[in-house]
Structure 1
Amino acid sequence: MLTRRSALAAGAVVALGGAGRATPRRIVSLNPCLDVILVHVADRAQIAALSHYSRDPLSSSVPAFGASFPITYETAEEVVALRPDLVLAARHSSPATRAALARLGIPAELFSVPENVEDSLRQVAQVADAAGRPARGQALVARIRKAIADAAPPPGQPRLSALIYQSNGFASAPGTLVDEMMRRAGFVNAATRYGLTRTGNVPLEQLIADPPDVLLAGRAKPGAPSWADRVLTHPALARVAHRMHRADFPQRLMFCGGPVLIETARMMALARTQALEARG
């Protein structure tokens, strides 16, 4: 059983501080979206561990970089053994681990899932501040803002309908961070015309019967894809290729904001440009 004494014996630092607190020297992230921000703003030596998701090439935005760090599976025992002086957690991180860390006095910062671009940028700044690197956070926010601005369509360019289409027909509905990125990149989210009021699945039959201008499609897993993946390579999609431009949009771009928005903006702008060029 973990106790405050065992945490201290393992070398956990209990003082959190606030404004003017000491820069943390051992940070553990329990969430993949916090992972990607942390590796952009913290010194490498500050990062004691990332989440195990950081090594998943299909969902992580830092798989190659993430493989060079220790990882945890969110257990309190793993975290305490790393002797952190700061833990970054999401509201859906393991409640048992969060409770254990609070009991032991191990400093933790809790983050919500950003619902829009401004929320995401604030989160970047908050992670950078927590890591004691506010200037890097400000610089990263500026880079993200520039990437989003650069992806915006020129005045007068027609807006195209688009659907994000991932494994099992998973699509992003209005009111999400990805939906806002679609709008900023000059798209109209077609999810509503398929009846989606929240993120969910669009049946292939509906998509074929009424295709959007652009399909921002995920990639099927290599090897023997699951039935859920086969929707991405279904022959019926080829029958509407003359009406619908298909563009690559990796699934990993669906999950996180922060610096991930730089690539999201770039890929959406590229898809829009290519679709318009294909129209002649």
Structure 2
Amino acid sequence: MELPLIPALPLTVTDQMGRRVAVPFPPQRIVSLVPSQTELLFDLGLGEKVVGVTKFCIHPAEARSKTAVIGGTKNFDFEKIAALQPDLIIGNKEENYQAGIEQLAADFPVWLSDISNLPEALDMIRRVGFIAGAKERGEALAAQIDASFAELATPHSAAIPVAYFIWKKPYMVAATGTFIDDMLRRAGFRNALAGLSRYPEITAEQLAAAAPQRIFLSSEPYPFGEKHLAEFQAICPAAKVEIVDGELFSWYGSRLRHSAAYFSQLR
């Protein structure tokens, strides 16, 4: 005999933007608008509750094959999302776009993260675990990540100046105020372009003047590859130029479990 479905109870929570969001608890139909948070939901054992993801949600591999793809992070397919009848949508201030979020929030509970450093990422992991009905798993995951980063502590005087590139045409770097900047610092590096704000365009002359000892070419969002190394080596002949795993620097969900060990190898 089938048991009757127990209706979800309403729960009012505050997201990382300070917005009050009424969510059925526990939610049963979740749409994720951010790749790193999609992976987090699956790693928290909530994959069966995820009904929609973006085309950029590549982890885990089954995320896009077992759920509906609802467009990109900055161009939602509103009709497809409405057809999914989500009782919770999880997004992010920076990765999504305000107009789209406001349109969705008029009809569905939308919980937003706002992350620029590790403590905020750990807070997001704990909160998403709680909201989605996996509180203990969220707490355990956040504690595991926190402990791994604690082992990376290095004196600031030993920090190696580095330039971290996210785009090629035009040249763009991750600078002050970004999650990547916080990751660099925790990994024992010093952002050679920290005087600039967030994701500025820079010239080859600015890069040469900054004189970083290391140049990191991120694997995302621009797909830097081995063919680009010589171009940056010519600008800074004394620097070590290398391709780095952009996901381990910029994904602020469960992938952070692997970041500290990777940063240790980079050092």
TM-score by length of structure 1 reads 0.72
2:19 alignment partner in structure 1: none
- Matched residue SS, 1:25: coil
Cα distance between partner residues in 1 of 2:83 and 2:220: 38
Cα distance between partner residues in 1 of 2:102 and 2:198: 31
Aligned in 2, Cα 1:263/1:248: closer, same or farther, shift over 3 Å? farther
Aligned in 2, Cα 1:252/1:130: closer, same or farther, shift over 3 Å? same
Query: For the pair shown, which has the larger CA radius of gyration, 1 or 2?
Result: 1
Q: Is residue 158 of structure 2 the alignment partner of residue 158 of structure 1?
A: yes
The answer to whether the 8 Å contact 1:247/1:271 transfers is no
| 1:155-213 Cα deviation digits (max 9, x unpaired) | 69832111212322321112322212211111111113xx5233213322333455312
Cα distance between partner residues in 2 of 1:215 and 1:203: 14
Cα distance between partner residues in 2 of 1:139 and 1:182: 24
Deviation at 1:79, TM superposition (A): 1.4
Question: Whose strand proportion is higher, 1 or 2?
Answer: 2
Question: Whose helix proportion is higher, 1 or 2?
Answer: 1
1:174 alignment partner in structure 2: 176
Cα distance between partner residues in 1 of 2:193 and 2:241: 16
The answer to whether the 8 Å contact 1:167/1:232 transfers is no
2:17 alignment partner in structure 1: none
2:202 alignment partner in structure 1: 202
2:135 alignment partner in structure 1: 134
2:189 alignment partner in structure 1: 187
Q: Is residue 35 of structure 2 the alignment partner of residue 35 of structure 1?
A: no
- Matched residue SS, 2:66: coil
The answer to whether the 8 Å contact 2:214/2:239 transfers is yes
Q: Is residue 267 of structure 2 the alignment partner of residue 269 of structure 1?
A: no
Cα distance between partner residues in 1 of 2:114 and 2:45: 21
- Which structure is richer in relative contact order (CA contacts within 8 A, separation 6 or more)? 1
Specify every segment of 5 or more residues in structure 2 that has no aligned partner in the other structure, as ranges.
1-6, 14-22
The answer to whether the 8 Å contact 1:166/1:232 transfers is no
Deviation at 1:18, TM superposition (A): 4.0
The answer to whether the 8 Å contact 1:24/1:86 transfers is yes
Q: Which AA in structure 2 matches 1:162?
A: V
Deviation at 1:100, TM superposition (A): 5.0
Deviation at 1:36, TM superposition (A): 2.6
**Identical-residue share of aligned pairs (%):** 25
Specify every segment of 5 or more residues in structure 1 that has no aligned partner in the other structure, as ranges.
1-12, 56-61, 273-280
Deviation at 1:122, TM superposition (A): 0.8
1:69 alignment partner in structure 2: 66
Q: Is residue 11 of structure 2 the alignment partner of residue 17 of structure 1?
A: yes
Provide the aligned length of Structure 1 versus Structure 2. Answer: 244
Q: Is residue 43 of structure 2 the alignment partner of residue 49 of structure 1?
A: no
Aligned in 2, Cα 1:204/1:100: closer, same or farther, shift over 3 Å? closer
Aligned in 2, Cα 1:84/1:173: closer, same or farther, shift over 3 Å? same
Cα distance between partner residues in 1 of 2:32 and 2:232: 42
Deviation at 1:26, TM superposition (A): 1.6
Deviation at 1:135, TM superposition (A): 0.6
Q: Which AA in structure 2 matches 1:137?
A: G
Deviation at 1:131, TM superposition (A): 0.9
Q: CA RMSD in A?
A: 3.4
The answer to whether the 8 Å contact 2:213/2:240 transfers is yes
- Matched residue SS, 1:143: helix
The answer to whether the 8 Å contact 1:28/1:48 transfers is yes
Cα distance between partner residues in 1 of 2:148 and 2:104: 37
Aligned in 2, Cα 1:220/1:237: closer, same or farther, shift over 3 Å? farther
TM-score by length of structure 2 reads 0.75
